[in-house]
Each structure stands twice: as C-alpha cells, then as structure tokens.
Amino acid sequence: SIRHLEKVRSDFISNASHELKTPVTALQGFTEALLDGAIEDHDTAVEFVKIMQKESNRLGSLIKDILDLAKIEQDQVQQTSELLEADELVEDVFQHLSRRAQDKHIDLVKDDGSQPDISFRGDRGRVLQVLTNLIHNAIIYNNPYGFVKVSISEQENMIQFKISDNGIGIPQEDLPRIFERFYRVSKDRSTASGGTGLGLAISKEIVEAHNGRIWANSVEGQGTSIFITLPCEVLE
Ligand code: ADP
C-alpha cells in the first residue's frame, strides 16, 4: 500500500541520517581534539588519525551504497540485458574473492551436481554485484576453514543460484528482516566487517529489477543458504 511505501521511505531517510551522522560526528570530534592539542602527542595523534581513517572509509561505503540503491530504484527495469553464462559469472566472482577466502582458509566450491551451460538474460555488472555480495557475506560471516558452495540449477525457465556456507548462521528471529535496508543482525559482528547493512537490500533490489526472487534459510551456528531465482530464456 501507499501508506506502507511512505513508511518505508521515511524510515529509510531517518536510518540513513542516523548512519551518516555517526561517522561525521566522530570525524568532527577527533579533528577538534587534534587541533585542541592532541596533535602534540605523537602516539595519541596516530591513534586518532587511524580512527578518522576508519570513520571516513565507513562514510565512503555508506554514501556509495545509498547512492547505488537510489540509482537501481530509478532504473527499475534493466535495459542493458545481455546473454550471461551462470558458470562463468560464478568463476569470475570466485577469482575476484579468492584472496579474501584464502586469508581465512575458506574453500570456494561449485556444487558437483550443478547443471552446466545455463544461460540467462541480465545486466552483467549488476548480477555480478549480487553474486559478489552474497559470496562475500558467506566468507565474512564464516569461521576459518569453512566453505562456501554455489549450486546452479534450472527449472521451468528459471535459473536458481544457491549460495551456502557453514558459518555462524542467522538467528530465526532476524531472518525475516535481513533484506531490509540497514538491518544488521548484531552491530558488532557486522561493523567489525565494515558492513553497511545495505548489501542484501541492494541485492534484493537488483534481483527484483530482473523479475527474480531472493530468500534465505539459516540455522544459527550451522550456516546459511541464500537462494536467487531469475527468469532465463530458452535458447533456440
Ligand atoms: P552487511 O553490510 O552488514 O553485511 P547485509 O545486508 O549484506 O549487510 O547483511 C545483513 C545482515 O545479515 C548482516 O549484518 C549479517 O548479520 C547477516 N548475514 C548476511 N549474510 C550472512 C551469512 N552468509 N551468514 C550469516 N549472516 C549473514
């Protein structure tokens, strides 16, 4: 309903303001403290500047994600639609995230049972963005020596990607809300990883612009599976 949409919009603006104000306030506070004399003490100065670096990075990520969300919302229907190969996209993302996975000794694998050679139409950059975000989450919300497994299948002209991990999982009560803008399961586990709480909201927006669906299953302490279905064309 319109009422509901209005509430979503006003919640978004108040959440965005709050999220943006936090790093700005920190930056102003530490700048002032430095000018007030903290700059004279080398160790304190280094400590403050490091905090300022972290806060400015955070501000940068927030601005980037908020603008990206607005842009996807505006474009609504994807006009740049190309023929994409599911396997190739997953390989691309695995390669892109391999260093991050290696640092945590996490295996990135494709399910043996995956159907090969599935093609579909979509915006390559945007679909890569979704897969990157989901696989990245599966790495950061995982334990060292864990795994991330991607399965690809096709059914009734829909392609399905399943991204599973055996990581920390999501409590049942949080599960229905993880696709909401700025929703984080617990601030400490997310901000430590530099998350904005917008990744899944952006992914959902992109998937829906492709007329697809996205949902999650999870068991706390055991792992998470994120599912995406997208319509695919049959090749003649
Ligand atoms: P963030 O930027 O905080 O990672 P996301 O929108 O990507 O935001 O995810 C929302 C929340 O869902 C995260 O804060 C995290 O707690 C939880 N989450 C997402 N993916 C996973 C996963 N694979 N395993 C466990 N928790 C996850």
Residues with Cβ within 8 Å of residue 156, at least 6 apart in sequence: none
Mean pLDDT of 88-92: 97
How far is Cα 93 from Cα 112, in angstroms, rounded to an integer?
18
Residue of the CA atom closest to atom 13 of ligand 1: 184
Residue in the block written with tokens 């430590």:
192
Q: Which atom of ligand 1 is nearest to the CA of 184?
A: 14
DSSP-derived 3-state class of residue 83: strand
Looking at the predicted structure, is the pLDDT value of residue 150 above 90? yes
DSSP state of 117: -
DSSP-derived 3-state class of residue 112: coil
The number of CA neighbours under 13 Å toward the Cβ of 46 is 2
In sequence order, what are the beta bridge partners of 31? none
Ligand 1, CB cutoff 6 Å, lining residues: 137-138, 141, 165, 167-170, 178, 183-185, 189-190, 195-201, 224
Instruction: Indicate if the alpha-carbon torsion angle 70, 73, 76, 79 is positive or negative.
Output: positive
- List the end-to-end C-alpha distance of the chain, in Å, as a whole number: 41
The number of CA neighbours under 13 Å toward the Cβ of 30 is 18
Residue of the CA atom closest to atom 25 of ligand 1: 169
pTM of the model: 0.92
Residue of the CA atom closest to atom 4 of ligand 1: 195
pLDDT tens figures, 18-71: 999 999 999 999 999 999 999 999 999 999 999 999 999 999 999 999 999 999
Residue of the CA atom closest to atom 20 of ligand 1: 137
CA of residue 27 to ligand 1 center, whole Å? 26
CA of residue 133 to ligand 1 center, whole Å? 10
Q: Which atom of ligand 1 is nearest to the CA of 226?
A: 23
The pairing of beta strand 213-219 with beta strand 147-155? unpaired
Mean pLDDT of 118-144: 96
132 against 7, higher pLDDT: 132
Among 66, 137, 172, residue to substitute to test ligand 1 (most atoms within 8 Å of Cβ)? 137
Looking at the predicted structure, is the pLDDT value of residue 81 above 60? yes
CA of residue 213 to ligand 1 center, whole Å? 18
